[in-house]
């Protein structure tokens, strides 16, 4: 089973959709600092070591662990955290979209 947060890949180049969707697809992985090669290496190493769960990168492991070991706390905290993230990303995407339109 593979779980992951965002990581840099060629996905933004292949995204079809609105300007906002393409901006989001390009922006989220760039923030992660992790690329597809690193994720693949970690996954292969863990699978080769016999691990059933492969959770990468570190941020995803923290979220997965919290959800698994403290589900009520996770459920209580995540809606507000998700809303803050969505609001921040919306502002950033609006900024990127405006820059694209000005070009």
| CA separation, residue 69 to residues 7, 64, 76, 83 (Å) | 25, 9, 14, 23
Indicate if the pLDDT at residue 70 is higher than 70.
yes
Lowest model confidence (mean pLDDT) among 11-20, 26-35, 80-89 = 26-35
pTM attached to this predicted model: 0.51
> pLDDT grade, residue 31 (50/70/90)?
low
Decide: 31 and 96 in contact? Cβ < 8 Å. Answer: no
Q: Is 3 helix (H, G, I), strand (E, B) or coil?
A: strand
**Alpha-carbon separation of residue 35 from 72, 82, 85 (angstroms):** 32, 23, 21
18-42: average pLDDT: 75
Tens digits of residue pLDDT in 9-20: 777 777 777 777
Give 76 or 10, the one with higher predicted confidence.
76
- Residue 100, pLDDT score: 67
Structural domains in the chain (count): 1
Domain that holds residue 29: 2-102
Residue 49 has a pLDDT of 93
């Amino acid at each position: 089973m593979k779980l992951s947060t965002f990581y840099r890949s060629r996905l933004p180049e292949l995204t079809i959709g609105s300007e906002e969707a393409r901006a989001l697809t390009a922006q989220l992985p760039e923030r992660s600092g992790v690329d597809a090669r690193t994720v693949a290496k970690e996954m292969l190493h863990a699978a080769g070591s016999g691990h059933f769960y492969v959770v990468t990168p570190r941020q995803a492991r923290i979220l997965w662990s919290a959800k698994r070991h403290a589900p009520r706390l996770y459920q209580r905290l995540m809606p507000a955290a998700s809303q803050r993230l969505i609001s921040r990303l919306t502002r950033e995407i609006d900024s990127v979209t405006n820059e694209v339109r000005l070009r």
